Every structure is written in structure tokens, then in C-alpha cells.
Structure 1
Amino acid sequence: MKIALNWLKNYIEINKTPEELSQLLTDTGLEVEGLEEVESVPGGLKGVVIGEVLTCEKHENADKLKVTTVDIGEDEPVQIVCGAPNVAAGQKVVVATVGSILYPEPDKPFKIKKSKIRSEVSLGMICAEDELGLGKSHDGILVLDTDLANGTPAAQYFNLSSDYVFEIGLTPNRADATGHIGAARDIKAVTKKEVNWPSVDNFKIDNQDLPIEVSVEDENACPRYSGVTISNVEVKESPDWLKNALKSIGLEPINNIVDITNYVLHEVGQPLHAFDADQITGNKVIVTQLPEDTKFTTLDEKERKLKSTDLMICNGDKQPMCIAGVFGGISSGVTEKTTKIFLESAYFSPDSIRKTAQNHQLKTDASFRYERGTDPNITVYALKRAALLIKELAGGTISSEVIDHYPNPVKDFEITVKYKNIDRLIGKKIGHDRIHEILNLLDIKTEQKSEEGFKAIVPPYRVDVTREADVIEEIIRIYGFNNIDTPESMSATYLASFPEVDPMQKRKEAAMLLVGNGYQEIMTNSLTKQKYSELIDAYNPDENVEILNKLSEELGVMRQDLFFTGLDVLAYNINRKQQNLKFFEFGKTYKKIKGNYQEKMRLALYLTGKNESENWIQKNESVKFHDLYAAVLKIFNKFNSESVENEEFHSDVFDYGLKLKINKKEVCQLGKLSKKVLKINGLKQDVFYADFDWSLLLNEVDTNIKFEAVSKFPEVKRDLSLVIDKSVSYKSIKEISLKQAGYLITNIDVFDVYEGDKIDEGKKAYALSFTLQDKSKTLTDKIIDKTMNKLMQAFEKEIGAVIRK
């Protein structure tokens, strides 16, 4: 949002430099992101002066050119060749001297140089209006009626002045500051200077020749609708002061009626709309919704299909004239032929306007304000202010009573505030008188004062001040954050365990680990298809977080699991012959459980295709579950996560899988995705998938790095082959082994698994490798044999294993 300094000075006395004012606005919450000096005419007419034509003779070598001598206030007159038909001796003219730069178009400057035109020297240019950037006329040179001395800067004659424009990064909560008077109110709260609102006391009804009836059919979407008619207007170009004000904040003037509505919009923050009254059939305005897919052509000449929820301004035949609070229609707008207008000033529901603007992808100055919340109590003031300007600049007459449909006035917010909470949240005791002074300067009344607190009465235009904390925020932003002393010793009501885990650092470490193991990072959309939760039993469609203003059914809900969107990436790559894929993604998942929204940070790993690209050195094998499991364990080991427990599980998401737990908390699921899941994306090759609860994993991270001296006693390895039932898990084997000889076993590996016709049906063979070590002495053959025998007996007894010898 842009605020012009000269414009702002119309409403409040400002004795600060632009830089000082920038700091003041920023300190109050209106952060100034940029400060720019602008000129009403590009270049400021530097080097352009008033001159007097002393002689004017016909050019010997050109019929349409004349050779003039011009007094520009220097010791000697200069010779200038001019092609204007109206140039003559004795005229006062505007001369661009050699070296000056003109901007006939803002982005197309040209420099005046000494030149020869048909053999005659020309030392400057006698200028027309359009060449100076002052207007569009090129009928001839400007002839001035002035007594100013020759050589006087043209900027002085035209009363040109520079201005400063503040680019304010307006946060969504500050709906009250969407106009110059809104910024002035914050300045008032700091400087205690009064805000001078333009008077509308001389507003009066001239006649009743053009009454308009207003019917509001949806008072929830339009709580207040005000309007008035103005006859005998002359639509023409705006005066310079109005055009310059709009140009200073980047708006292009259109005509006096439209420019006035834009001026009042940026003055007080209240959008207005002017209708050609001749287009209002039946002299009636109806505020309503129209049937779905009704066609309507807007001012940009685009035909749009309306939603049944779009609030529309219609005429007596219920033909649409305007998308309420967003964009006008092409057939009802003001043109140069318009002589009668109906001026609208309304308060529309922010929710209604926000939804409509999103539906049609329209962002206008009006919708920008309505979406955030305008002042319901300012509609009539803004209406009268604009009507008086129209009478002044377009010669109109007020031809109806002010219509004001406001059946349920919006009430002030009443908020109980405790002094102890002010002190607690601000961190400093502020005098009670100062607290009340600040709030009163912000138009917030304070009533029912006591030793404990008071009641704050907040006007409706402060849509962001509805709680006690909001009132306290108002106090501190005006009191000044910089005025809060930082104590020598800091304390907090909550102390985290130390050292603190930096989530972003841990995320970077995990990403680097995965990239080093051949994985590539992907980032997918949080929006996905609803069919995932409907087709997979593990997910409940009722737990979907649905998008209210969805762009399409394909992006209608938030994902419940990362693979909802990750598999789309796999399918995209595989369909383009990129079949060997190793991906990972950090992202959030979303659920709505019993009305409460749940958001979690997850880490997903995807593995599919071949382990290596084809080569002559090694066999090209498809990836397996254990390839993914190895990567998962590397992440656990990276964060010193010990005592990871495995648990097999089954669901329609995985053909088979494991749950990994730390301290009995489920941190990760991994396995081979089921064909049912893969079918949704048309995937035909196996995909292995791991899903981490990233936040939970970080909570279990052991930040203490542990070191252990390398044992001077050697390790011993022994292999063992077992034939066991298919139902027996590796977890059972590991538990038995650690129970029998945990103090000696440092590692157990499964280096081969066999299932086939060489062993009985329903059986499988595990080839295990045990690493044994005693850190206090060297293991003897006797101890080793005794340990292995003990393991074999336990396997035979507890899981019915057959030891293959």
C-alpha cells in the first residue's frame, strides 16, 4: 500500500522529515518497506525555462520549419528551429535547453542536444504540452500568459513540487490503515496531533428528481448499503490536483467521477462505486445472488460465469451490474456520455468478498479492503464526501435522499482488560494514565475503571482488536517496543531441556545423509485428491481437511499422508522412462479428528526400480526391502537413537512392513506398498516406502555424543543356518539371542534367506552371522562353542528351529 506525504498532510500536521516519519510508522506496526521521492512531472522539468521569442523567420530549406531566436535569460539569445505552426515573435514559451531531459512518456526519456536541422543550428526546443509530460495535446507549442522573467524555471510557473511516497507492507490485520486517514490515526496516537477529517457539513439534497429504491436480499453478506443519486454531471478529465494525487500512489487517472471514487477510497479506506443511473432499470437496485453459471461481463471485457454464492448488485430486472465489492460491469459503468449516476457506499461481509474474489481470481483495490474488513460506520460519510467532490468537479446536483439500509448496526467490541496482564505481557509497568491516554488516542474508550483493570470499548473498524491481548498489543505498539528495557538477566516461565535441538539443522543433517546415499529430495503440493482416503481403508475420508475455496476436485483436500502426492512424482518419472528412483521428502500431513485440526511434520523415503544402472561389473538387481531398511537405520544411527524396536504389521497400505519404535513410541513405518495403493497412480513396479514422524524422532534425539574406546580384544564371527516356520520373525530370533548371550553378542546379520522346494512347505531358511566379543578378555574356543550351543538349543526349543549342519 502506498501513502503520499503531501496527501497525508491534508489530514494531520507533520513536522518530521520523510525518514523520521518512516521510522514512526514502522514503529507503530505500519512497516515502511520503501521510501521514494516522486515528481508530478517525471524529471521535474529540470533545465526547462521560460523564454521569449524575439524573432521568427521561415526556414530557407524547409517549408514547415521556422528559425527563431529566443531569450532564455542568458547573455545572448539562442537560435532554435521550431516546427510548430503557432510559433510567433513576442510569445512567452517553454524552452528545453541543451542538456535537459524530457519525459513525454514516463519510460521513454530523451535528451535535448545541440543539433543542425536542414543546415540551421538549433540550441534547444520550444515545447508542446505533451513533450513536457504535462498533458496529451500536440496542437502546437505552449504559449504562456505570464510576467515571469525570462530564464525562470518552468517548474516554478507550473507549481511543480516533489512528493515522498511510503510503500507500506500492510499486514492483513491492519484493515483500519488502508487509507491516508488510517495512517494519520497512528501518527496522531504518537504525536498527539489531531486528525482533520474533510467536512461534509455542507452536504444537502438539491432535489428529489431521481429516487432509487434499494432491496438487500442477503443481509449477512451485505449488512449495510448506502447510496445517493447525482444528476447533471459532466464526465471529463480531472483537475491537476486530483490527477497528481492519484499518480503519486501509482494510479492512472480515468475521468473525474471514477477518480473521485478512487481518491475517497485511498483517503478514508472506504470503497465506492458509481453506476450510470440510466442503466438501472425500474429505478431499483437489488443486492442478491444469481443462479450458478450466470454470465456476466466485467469492466475488463471478460465474460465470467458467476457462482451461486457471489453477491451481485443488480438492476430492477435482476440483471447484474456489478460483482459486489470486487469489480464493476461493462454495461453499467460511467462513460463520457453519462449524465446521471447512482453512487454506492456499502459494507460487505469480508468472508463473502474473499470467497468471490478467489473464485474469479480478481484482486482489486476494493476487494483488498473488503476482504480485510472495512468500517461499517463510515459508509454515509464517504458517500457524502464523494458526492460533494462530484458537485465541485462535475457540476452535479444531489437528486435523492441518502439511502442507508442498516437493519442491524454493528456493535462496538467490549473487552475486559486487567492491569496485571498488561504488565505481564509487556514486561514493564506503564502508568495507568498513560495506558488510558494511548487507548483514547486510538479511538478506544476506557470505561468502568478500577484498581484491577477497565473495560475497553473498541470501534468496529478495528477488526483486529477483539481480545485482551489485542488491546495490550495496541498499548505496546504506541508506547514503543524500543522503550521496553532489556534486563541484565533474562528469565522465562518455561525452560526447555538443554542443549536445544535445532529442527532445521537436524533436517539438514538428515538430508545430507540421504543425498550422500543416492537419494534425491522432492517437494510436493500439500493439496491432493480426495480419492486416496476413499479407496484406502487405513484412511478415513471424514478426517480430510477440505479446502473451502478449492480450485479443482483434483486439489480439494489436504493430504493425510505424504505418499498421496509423492507417488504422483514417481509415476511422472516412471512414465518418462526414469525407473530407478530414490526420493525423500520433508513435508506436513493434515487431519481433522473430532473437529480438531492436526498437522504433523513427516519424512518420507521412496525406493523403486534397480539398485544400480546397468553395467558389466556387477549384477543389476531390483531394490529390496532391506535396501530401504538400511537407509532408515542410518537415520536412526545419525541421531544416536538406540534401542529401536521392530514390530511387524499389516494394512491395506503395505503388502508387508515394520513399525520402528523408540521408548515404545512409533517413530517410523516402512514396507512394500500394496498393489491396491500403487494402482491408484497406475504404478506397476514395486515401491518401498518409509514414513517418519519427524517431530517425534527429534524429541527422541540423543544430543550427547558418546565415545567408546576401541577394544583391544578381537571379535569372533560364527555362522548359523536355521530352518524355521515362515511365521517366525527376525525379531524373535534377535530377542532369543540377546536373552541367551547378550553380553557377548555385538551384532547379528541375516546374510541369506531361502524359501523353495528344497525345504518343506511353510518353512524358510535363515543364514545368520553372529559377532561375539568380550571387552575384558580374549574369547576362547570353549566359551565360543558353549555360547553357540546355548543359542542353538534355545532356537530349537522356543521357535522349533532345525539347525542345518
Structure 2
Amino acid sequence: MLVSYEWLSQYVDLEGISPEDIGEELNRTGIEVEVIYTRDAGVSGVVVGEVLSVERHPEADRLNVCMVHVGKGQQLQIVCGAANVAKGQRVPVALVGAKLPGGRIKKARIRGVESNGMICSAKELGLPDKVLMKEQTEGILVLGSDAPVGEDVKNYLGMNDQVIELQLTPNRSDCLSMIGVAYEIAAIFDRELRLPDVLIQSVYDDVTPVKITLESEEDCPFYAAQVVHNLKIGPSPQWMQNRLISAGIRPINNIVDVTNYVMIETGQPLHAFDYNQISDGNILVRRAHPGESLVTLDGVTRTCDDETLLITDGKQPLGIAGIMGGESSEVTEKTTSVLIESAFFDPLITRKAARKLGLRSEASNRFEKGVDPERIIPALARAVQLLQQIAGGEVGSDITEERIGEVDDVVISLRHDRLVNLLGVQIEEDEVLDIFRRLNFPVQSNEGVYDVQVPTRRPDLALEVDLIEEVARIFGYDRIPTTLPWGQQPPGGLTREQKLRRITRHMLRNLGMHEAVTYSLTSPEADREIESLHSSAQPIGLANPMSNERAVLRTSLLPHLLEVAAYNVNHGISRVAIFEVGRTYLTEEKKLTALPDERLELGGLFTGGPDSTIWKKKRSPAEDFYTAKGVLEALFARLGVEDVEYREAAPKGFHPGRTAEMVLDGEVIGLLGQLHPKLAQKHDLADCVVFQLDLAKLFDAVNDETAYQPIPRFPAVTRDLAMVVDKDVAVGEVEEGIREVAGELLESVTLFDVFTGAQVGEGKKSIAYSLVYRAMDRTLTDEEVHEIHGHVVNYLEDVLGAKLRQ
């Protein structure tokens, strides 16, 4: 909302109050002021002049030599190149030494003829084209005949006016009008409000017929209209044009300008129909028929549906209710009679229609937020009054209105003790009553309870706390003392899951990985590229996705990690090691009837070569596989999770021979493996290793009790063990057997060699372990170690069919 300081001063005494003061107080009371600016673009030394004569330049066909009267008996010879300059015009004249946005004006000789100044165009004065009539943007700016010769042109064009731009929240629709802002300013500064006198006019003889029918009562419960005859179409007075330009509205003609002026003044949108284009003066408000169309004032054919409200005459559409009028009933130069419309249209249907049609207007902006029903008739009367004053109109009918029901009074009770408790400051009852007086809220007080009648212009007030907010902001937030919270406050802390998530993130960062945060929404194609931990999960689609790339909720973290890796590699990052801790959304229903299961998961990715060094070492996929495996095992160790097994797997999107699933207590908790070469090639990635882990299942297995284990005091005994086994025997099975047979004296088992080849035989492999034995209370003897180690060897030979290597 653009608020003209000059216009505002007509309703409130602003003596001693600057625009900056208004901006500061509005910000302090909850209405944001975005900027305060002046319409003056840096103009000085420009006056109103009268063109006395125009003669052709003797040396140039396109130039004219003009004699211009600029006041105080002074006449100047000025060379002008504008085609529209003519004798008798009032024009802006920049005197020698004048300052314009384009520079200073100097005395000059143009093709041998002296020129003492310049006749200015609107552009040269810095006036924006968007708020000027078309004829004012071509050639020099021709002023009205009432422009006083010799006066500073800034005074005549209102360029000294300052504009306050408000950034309103949707609930403050009352400030979408000059009168609404005036109420606010009068309350803040405790100044008297001076609203214009409005007289409702009637006709006793020769009444022009107007008949209003509300077919869609719920969409338009109140519609009023009045006819004005004998209008003379022409430009509006300059004072009205200045105010409209300050409000950001382009002047068009006196009829349209009056409706726009009253809309900005009162907040009630109006529309003027050419009465002669309305069949028998009939107005029918109804929903559009599916596929029905009309040409709006912008010349575009709009096709409507049954959720669009139309104004018709029973035969043809005249306009889209609350948004824009139709071209068929447009006010033109031939118009002599108009029907002025003032109504209340349902905000919801107005918003829907404006959105579907892609058509927003100043009127729809106000109807969407709700207009004041008590201003419908006064706004109509005000428009008729102005049409009489500036367009010579004569009232042709009484105000004809059709309404459904009455507007109920809204009375809210406010308890004084509740007000004091919430504000935390002792405020006297007399001061509260004075604040309601300043707000123009009728109030009655009885034993500490205020019964406040809320005006219809303030639909945002409905509850007791709303009134408390009104009192607080007028009282002054800066007057409310700052106090510390009191009472017993529970100590803060992290939940178990939050602690474990933090440990997981810190651990992975410390191991050299970078954390990524990606969207929870993905595309259906990306979500199907790689198998999630929950293969039966169905994608959950959005009802109205912004794009196909963000159309479904993710069931895996890996697709977006692939996108992040590809982006980094394409931007010159040679080594990518990233992870993400986030939610996936799972359901087995094809049509969602219940909330999905939100699972906390961990995804990770390694790709690219080693960091640049002088050693040209090539990284193999196996290295990244074991790097990722090592990272996960370090995480498991940090969380105190033991006995995680790795089993061969071949899920979709993974390399079929280089993938394992992680199993804990017989349940799959994650996947680790190389990305399938075709999928890696699709994302322009080299060998890529990824993992995904169900953190919810992992955290369930975390042992929260931490036990201290002292540093061993006694020495350990190490025995190496090499054997040949069948190729399909899993090393995990071998390790498990060794631990079970060796018992508690076995401290660790480390696999340090795996070999396959002709030397060990077809279908065989050689594996070697380092076994460490230690007792916590004594030094082991050779006999004890030899006996335990012998049991291990016997187990491997008898149960697993291993053959020891010497």
C-alpha cells in the first residue's frame, strides 16, 4: 500500500509529524514500513510556462522556435523539437541553470538560433511512464489549462509529495485504504480524525430503472448501484491525478479515476459500467456457466468455469465480479451515463477466480482480504458526489441495493487482570479506556471487564488476546519492561536419539567425510534407480507437485547423494566422500490412507581418485569398498554395537558381485557395495561405493552402558594361522568358529591375507589369521596357549575341512 503524505494530511492533522516520524511509529506498532520516498527525481528551476507562439526553425525542418511566457512578465525564446508543441499550451519550462535528472540546463545556440531553456517532457522530469497517460509520454508534457504560469512545476504536479510504502500482513486489510491508515495514524499520535462529508442523494422525478438480482447469494450477499447521467468525459483535475500517481495508479479519465480514487480512499472497490450498454438496467449476479467467456478491459478473452462469479445484465456478461470489468460495458469517450457498482464479494471465490484466470487487480487484492460492509453505501455515495463535482454528472436514480441478512455487531469482552498478567505491566483502567477511544472502538467498562464493540473495518479482531495486542501496541511495546522468566525451569538436554545422531555425525566427519543435506522430495524415476532398504515400499506422490523432480517422497537417501556427487565431480572435485542423516518415508499402500512410516537412515558415498600427491597411485574399487567398510565398523565400535555380519547380496542398482548386506541379530540393517556400472555411467561417475543404513534399527542395538577396561598388565602371545579352505567358505564363518573354540583367552582375530590361484588348487583359497591370546590376571604359559591353539586347529580341520599350510 502506497500512502501519500499530502493526501493523508487531509484526514489527520500532521502538523509537527514528518513522514519519518510516521514510519518509525508504524514500525513500532506492528505495521512494516518498507521505504519512504519522494516523487521528486531531483528537479529544480522548472516552472509552468505558456507557449505564446510557435514558428518553424529557419535551418531545421523538425525544430520549432517558441516564445514562452514564464511569469513576472518574462518571455523566453526556446528551441523545441517536439512535434506536439502548440500555441496556448501550458508546459513545464526548465530555465537556464535548472537541474534535471539528466543534468543542468545551459543557454545554447541551436542551428544558429539562441535557446534560453528547455520545454520538458515527462521523462525529462523523471516521471515514470507506468503512472502516466499514453498522451503524456509522447513529446512534451502538456499541463492543464489551470496550471498557474510561473509557479514551480513540482507544486503543480505534486512532485514534493512523499510516499510511505507499507508492507501489510494479510490480516491488516483495513490499511489498504487512506481512511484505514488515517484511523491508525490518528490512534498512534492521538490526533483528531477528519473524514470527508458524504451525502446520499436521491431522485424524485424521472428515475432511471435499476433492477438487481442476486442469484448466487452466498457469493454476493450485498450489491448496491446508482446511475449518473450527463457526464462529460475528460481528464481528471490535477490534484486527483497527483494523488492517484502517488498511490501507483495511472490516471485514465475522470470517470475511471473517480472509482479508483474512492477505492484508494475508502478501501471499497467500485466499477463504472456504461449504462447504455446494460439491457434495461438489469444487473444479475451469478456463477459462470462452464466454458462461458468474456473479453475483459485488458482486451483478453477469459474463459470461466462454475467457480467464477460474473456480473451480467441477464443477456451478456458485463464483468468478472471483484476482479475486472468487461470490454462490452467499458466507459469510452462516447459514454454519457454510468451505473456505479459497489458490492461485497466472497473473498474465497474471488481468490480462486483470480488465481485460475491469472488476473490480479487492485480490486481483487482488496476483495480477497475482505472489504468493510459498512463502507459499501458511503463509498458509492462518495463516488457519485465526485462525479457531480468533476464530470458535471446528474444523479439518475436512487441507490438501489440488494442484501442478504445484516452484519452482526462483534462485541469482545476483555478482562483487565488478564491484560495486566499478559503484558507484565501495571496499566490503569483509564489509560486502557483512552486507548480504545483513540482506536475509535466503542467500549463499556464494568468491574474490571471491558465490553468492546469491534468496528467492521477491523475483521482481524475476534478474540480477547487480539484486543490485548491492540492495547499493547498503542501503549507502546518499548514501555513494557524486560523481565527474566521466573519459576522452575526443567533442565535442557538431548534425547537418546538426538545424542546418537550427534555421535554418528561427528564420527563420520572425523573420519574425513562431508555431510550433505538434500531434499525430502525426489522424482519417481530417481527413486526407482536404486533399491532402498525397504524393497516393498511404495512411492508417496504429492497432490500438487511444483515439478516432476520434486513429485514423490524419497524412500532412500542414495539418489540425491548421487546427484550431489555428480555435481561436485563436474565442478572439478576429484575426491568425494559424503554422507547424509535424514528421514525416508515408507508405506506399502498404493493409495495412502494412513501416515507413512518416517525412518531415520544414514546414506554414504565414496568416489574419485586419491588426493593429489607426488605419488601417482591409482585407487581401485576394492579400496573404496574397504574404506567404506572400515568407516562403518569404526562407527559400530563407537556406538558399542558388536557382531554385525556381512553377507553377499545383489540388490537393484548395485554391482552384483561387489555388494554385501549388513545383518544384526538376524535382521538386515543396511547395504554396502559398489554402484552398478550402468548407473554410475548415467551419473558420469567413476567407480563409486555407497552404503545405506537403517539408523533406527542400529540405535536399538546400542549399549548405553559404558564399561571401563584397564590397560592390560600382562603380555600377549601371538600365533599366526594359515590354511586352505573351499572358495565358498565365508571368512566370517571361520572367524566365528575360531572365537567360539578359543574362548575368553582369545583377545583378537585379524585376517591379514587372502590368496587364490593355481598354487592352492582349483576351487580353493588360502586365508591367514593372526590370533592374539592374553589373560587379564596372569601371564599365559606356552602349554596353555598350545592347548587352546590346538583346539582351534582341530576345529578348522574337522568341521570346516581346512588344510593347514606350513
Q: Could you state the TM-score of these two structures normalised by the residue count of structure 1? A: 0.70
Alpha-carbon distance in 2 for matches of 1:514, 1:673: 23
Q: Does 1:359 align with 2:356?
A: yes
For residues 502-651 of structure 1, the aligned pairs below 5 Å read 513=509, 517=513, 524=519, 526=521, 538-539=536-537, 546-547=543-544, 554=548, 559=553, 561=555, 566=560, 605=603, 607=605, 617-618=617-618, 620-621=620-621, 643=641
Query: Counterpart of 1:464?
Result: 460
Alpha-carbon distance in 2 for matches of 1:458, 1:725: 87
Q: Does 1:350 align with 2:338?
A: no
CA change 1:386–1:138 in 2 (3 A) is same
CA change 1:22–1:591 in 2 (3 A) is farther
Quick one: which amino acid aligns to residue 188 of structure 1?
Answer: A
Alpha-carbon distance in 1 for matches of 2:430, 2:726: 84
What's the secondary structure of 1:378's corresponding residue? helix
CA change 1:142–1:377 in 2 (3 A) is closer
CA change 1:58–1:263 in 2 (3 A) is closer
CA change 1:173–1:120 in 2 (3 A) is same
From 103, 108, 120, give the equivalent of 1:115.
108
8 Å CA contact retained: 1:68, 1:80: yes
8 Å CA contact retained: 1:444, 1:456: yes
The alpha-carbon deviation at position 765 of structure 1 amounts to: 11
For residues 126-205 of structure 1, the aligned pairs below 5 Å read 154-155=152-153, 158=156, 160=158, 162-205=160-203
Quick one: which amino acid aligns to residue 284 of structure 1?
Answer: I
Q: Which moved more, 1:691-700 or 1:356-365?
A: 691-700
Quick one: which amino acid aligns to residue 474 of structure 1?
Answer: E
8 Å CA contact retained: 2:36, 2:165: yes
For residues 14-413 of structure 1, the aligned pairs below 5 Å read 14=14, 15-39=16-40, 42-44=41-43, 46-49=44-47, 66=65, 80-82=77-79, 95-102=93-100, 109=102, 111-125=104-118, 154-155=152-153, 158=156, 160=158, 162-205=160-203, 208-217=207-216, 219=218, 221-281=219-279, 283-291=282-290, 294-306=292-304, 308=305, 310-317=307-314, 319-409=316-406, 411-412=408-409
What's the secondary structure of 2:97's corresponding residue? coil
Alpha-carbon distance in 2 for matches of 1:70, 1:192: 47
Query: Counterpart of 1:484?
Result: 480
Alpha-carbon distance in 2 for matches of 1:441, 1:531: 61
The alpha-carbon deviation at position 416 of structure 1 amounts to: 5.6
What's the secondary structure of 2:241's corresponding residue? helix
Quick one: which amino acid aligns to residue 352 of structure 1?
Answer: I
CA change 1:347–1:608 in 2 (3 A) is farther
Query: Counterpart of 1:474?
Result: 470
Alpha-carbon distance in 2 for matches of 1:261, 1:196: 21
The alpha-carbon deviation at position 200 of structure 1 amounts to: 2.2
What's the secondary structure of 1:162's corresponding residue? coil
8 Å CA contact retained: 1:51, 1:92: yes
8 Å CA contact retained: 1:51, 1:73: no
The alpha-carbon deviation at position 25 of structure 1 amounts to: 0.4
The alpha-carbon deviation at position 243 of structure 1 amounts to: 0.9
Query: Counterpart of 2:12?
Result: 12
Alpha-carbon distance in 2 for matches of 1:556, 1:239: 54
Quick one: which amino acid aligns to residue 269 of structure 1?
Answer: G
Q: Which moved more, 1:586-595 or 1:232-241?
A: 586-595
Deviations 1:621-677 (A, max 9, x none): 38987766666778899xx7665996999999999997999xx9x9x96668999xx
The alpha-carbon deviation at position 9 of structure 1 amounts to: 1.6
CA change 1:32–1:65 in 2 (3 A) is closer
Alpha-carbon distance in 2 for matches of 1:434, 1:794: 94
Quick one: which amino acid aligns to residue 372 of structure 2?
Answer: D
What's the secondary structure of 2:263's corresponding residue? helix
Alpha-carbon distance in 2 for matches of 1:322, 1:125: 45
Quick one: which amino acid aligns to residue 497 of structure 1?
Answer: G
Percent identical: 27
The alpha-carbon deviation at position 240 of structure 1 amounts to: 0.8
CA change 1:645–1:70 in 2 (3 A) is farther
CA change 1:156–1:460 in 2 (3 A) is closer
Deviations 1:377-428 (A, max 9, x none): 4333323322322333333334444344432445455656555554444333
8 Å CA contact retained: 2:604, 2:691: yes
Alpha-carbon distance in 1 for matches of 2:141, 2:608: 79
The alpha-carbon deviation at position 23 of structure 1 amounts to: 0.9
Quick one: which amino acid aligns to residue 106 of structure 2?
Answer: K
CA change 1:429–1:674 in 2 (3 A) is farther
Q: How many residues get paired?
A: 760
Quick one: which amino acid aligns to residue 116 of structure 1?
Answer: R
8 Å CA contact retained: 2:754, 2:767: yes
The alpha-carbon deviation at position 87 of structure 1 amounts to: 7.0
Alpha-carbon distance in 1 for matches of 2:360, 2:123: 32
Alpha-carbon distance in 1 for matches of 2:209, 2:755: 93
CA change 1:171–1:80 in 2 (3 A) is same
CA change 1:99–1:629 in 2 (3 A) is farther
Deviations 1:253-293 (A, max 9, x none): 2222322222222223223333334444462323314315x
What's the secondary structure of 2:272's corresponding residue? strand
8 Å CA contact retained: 1:545, 1:590: no
Quick one: which amino acid aligns to residue 191 of structure 1?
Answer: F
8 Å CA contact retained: 1:94, 1:142: yes
What's the secondary structure of 2:39's corresponding residue? strand
Which blocks of at least 5 consecutive residues in structure 2 are unaligned? Answer: 128-135
Alpha-carbon distance in 1 for matches of 2:733, 2:188: 70
8 Å CA contact retained: 1:538, 1:652: no
8 Å CA contact retained: 1:261, 1:271: yes
What's the secondary structure of 1:99's corresponding residue? strand
What's the secondary structure of 1:200's corresponding residue? coil
Alpha-carbon distance in 2 for matches of 1:722, 1:443: 97
Alpha-carbon distance in 2 for matches of 1:487, 1:477: 18
The alpha-carbon deviation at position 486 of structure 1 amounts to: 1.7
8 Å CA contact retained: 2:608, 2:686: no
What's the secondary structure of 2:287's corresponding residue? strand
8 Å CA contact retained: 2:581, 2:601: yes
8 Å CA contact retained: 1:4, 1:249: yes
8 Å CA contact retained: 1:96, 1:126: yes
The alpha-carbon deviation at position 236 of structure 1 amounts to: 2.4
What's the secondary structure of 2:351's corresponding residue? helix
CA change 1:193–1:580 in 2 (3 A) is same
8 Å CA contact retained: 1:247, 1:253: yes
Alpha-carbon distance in 2 for matches of 1:436, 1:731: 85
Query: Counterpart of 1:106?
Result: none
